[in-house]
Amino acid sequence: MAFSITIDTSKLSKGLRPSKRMPRNSGFLVECKGAVGRDGVLQTLEELTRIATVTITDVFPYPQIFVFTNLIIVCSSTKIYELVGGSLVEKLTVTAGSTWTAVDFFDYVYMSNGAVAVIRNAGSKTYSITTDQPKAMAICNFQGQVLIGASDIEGTYPGASLTIKADSIDLVVSQHGGYA
């Protein structure tokens, strides 16, 4: 015996139930695999393709990927790349600092790693180090106003480096007690 059910737009627009405690038959979807409710209909998710970042050999937390309104920027500790036509194009080499933070205004981008401030010119689409904008450890776009944290802090950044600068580590292992 075949089973079919029609879910009308009003039920679909409610989406998945907000909590497992919500009782069944309350008008929410209980489970949805491989699709999402969008614009009043079920649609399959777009296939994600992996960005080839083999040119970035830095350790965690790199590469950092920023998906902006009109472009995608990928950063290593010292290089800024732009994703163009599915491949990375190097745009600028800078001094290493902490992790990157950035905001975009369509084609204009302001970013910093604490050591340098970088802008992407909206007209020429070129990247350059700027002294007109402050270096920052945190940047946030709050309703069109840019808020920055730890601006123009000079010197080292305690706790910001995620790699240990050390020679090789020798390890001695010894057993205490017996093994049965």
Mean pLDDT by 10 residues, the chain (180 residues): 76 74 78 72 76 87 92 94 92 93 95 94 95 92 90 59 66 76
Two structure tokens written together for 25: 């038959």
From CA 92, how far away is CA 77, in angstroms rounded?
Answer: 11
Residue pair 98/114 in contact by the 8 Å Cβ criterion: yes
| Nearest C-alpha neighbor of 69 from the set 120, 10, 124 | 120
Output the pLDDT for position 178.
73
Torsion over CA: 31, 35, 39, 41 (sign): negative
pLDDT confidence of residue 159? 46
pLDDT of residue 107: 94
Which residue spans within the chain are E strands per DSSP? 35-38, 41-44, 64-67, 72-75, 79-84, 87-93, 101-105, 108-112, 117-120, 127-130, 138-142, 145-149
Look up residue 169 and give its two tokens.
Answer: 């580590």
Phi/psi for 11 (5° steps) reads -75, -40
Outline where the chain has alpha helix (H): 9-12
pLDDT at 95: 92
Say how far residue 28 (Cα) sits from the centre of its chain.
31
Per-residue pLDDT at 180: 66
pLDDT at 30: 77
